[in-house]
Amino acid sequence: MSAPQHDPAIETSGLVKVFGESRAVDGIDLSVPAGTVFGVLGPNGAGKTTTVKMLATLLRPDGGEARVFGHDVAREADAVRSRVSLTGQYASVDEDLTGTENLYLLARLLGHRKPGAYARASELLEAFGLTEAAGRQVKNYSGGMRRRIDIAASILNTPDLLFLDEPTTGLDPRSRNQVWDIVRAIVAQGTTVMLTTQYLDEADQLASRIAVIDQGKVIAEGTKGELKASVGAGTVHLRLRDEAERETARSILAHTLDAHVQLEADPLALTARVEGDAGVDDASGAEQASRALAELASAGIIVDTFALGQPSLDEVFLALTDQPPGGSTTLDTSTDTSTEEIAS
């Protein structure tokens, strides 16, 4: 792309946005290299949307600085606007218009001439599997279709930076996978993506670097691996044949893995964290787990299912905030939601 390689796609320092009494964004520092997918993870009301809106020139920062490809979002808003696209939490297309009309409208506004605008609209509808729905008003679209037309509208001109604000919230698994496929295809062409999500597996699936945001502050930032390393190398999930053997299994696991073993609500299940030495890759975790499995077998304990996973981002969140995501902010959610409403 035309993006100068030395400028990071996004760079913020001490970014602040205040709504009345509450500091929705409270000093956020981020640096997103061009060409990557950056995940912003946090519960409802953490300040994700407000941050994205400031970066997309929809809200003026109350403090700090934000630059997109080297352009200040407040002073050089137009330069920023020509490089970015935003797909909001709610469909940012006109519900009264059909799919074709929406894309045609935006294509014209982006400077395409009439025939070119129609061609681009129909090509995009085709690629997004919306050709059949092209002539229908968007208000009659399903959630997944809305999301796709919305993303299509965002890439009418291939943007250098695409903001996806909770792109899969409220979608069924199939639609969610389609959106993920689309995002991967867009990223593969060199577009930088900033993705906000409250779904940990989504950030895990798509993003290379992740910032965890809570109450307007970045509480952790790094590559997926770095974040996970702060929790441990992985987790072993076991489900036994016989309930009575769980205690024995627990002590065997605790001994072989040298780790805390958690008894799950399911009376047959146990979870153990595989610590792994610092700097050692996952193989050591797998090795330890297989050794533990052998121990269990030799003790005559039958294991029905067994899974070794990297620690989920849920666990990362738990480790970082001492509280599960969502659970920590039950109280704040209501107030933060109302401030976001005022903001929008």
Partner 1 sequence: MTTATKHDPPTAEATSVRTDELAALLVAGERPPRPSALSASLTFGWRAMVKIKHVPEQLFDVTAFPIMMVMMYTYLFGGALAGSTSEYLQFLLPGILVMSVVMITMYTGIAVNTDIEKGVFDRFRTLPIWRPAPMVGYLLGDVLRYVMASAVMLGIGLIMGFRPEGGLLGVLSGVALLLVFSFSFSWIWTMFGLLLRSEKSVMGVSMMVLFPLTFGSNIFVEPKTMPGWLQAFVNNSPVTHLAAAVRDLMAGNWPAEHLFWALLWSGALLAIFAPVTMRLYNRK
Contact residues for partner 1 (CB under 8 A)? 53, 56-58, 60, 78, 81-82, 84-86, 88-98, 101, 105-106, 108-113, 116, 120, 123-124, 126-130, 132, 137, 148, 153, 155-158, 174, 178, 181-182, 184-186, 188-189, 191, 344
Nearer CB in complex with partner 1: 72/295: 72
Q: How far is CA 192 from CA 147, 157, 339, in A?
A: 19, 14, 29
Whole-number minimum distance, CB 75 to partner 1, in Å? 13
Whole-number minimum distance, CB 54 to partner 1, in Å? 12
Nearest Cα residue to 179 out of 189, 191, 169: 169
For residue 172, the 8-state DSSP code is: -
Helix H, strand E, coil C: the string for 107-167 is HHHCCCCHHHHHHHHHHHHHHCCCHHHCCCEHHHCCHHHHHHHHHHHHCCCCCCEEEEECC
Whole-number minimum distance, CB 150 to partner 1, in Å? 8
| Sheet with 209-214, edge to edge strand ranges | 84-87, 161-165, 192-197, 37-41, 209-214, 217-223
Whole-number minimum distance, CB 168 to partner 1, in Å? 14
Nearer CB in complex with partner 1: 96/226: 96
Nearer CB in complex with partner 1: 123/264: 123
Nearer CB in complex with partner 1: 114/255: 114
Whole-number minimum distance, CB 85 to partner 1, in Å? 7
Nearer CB in complex with partner 1: 82/330: 82
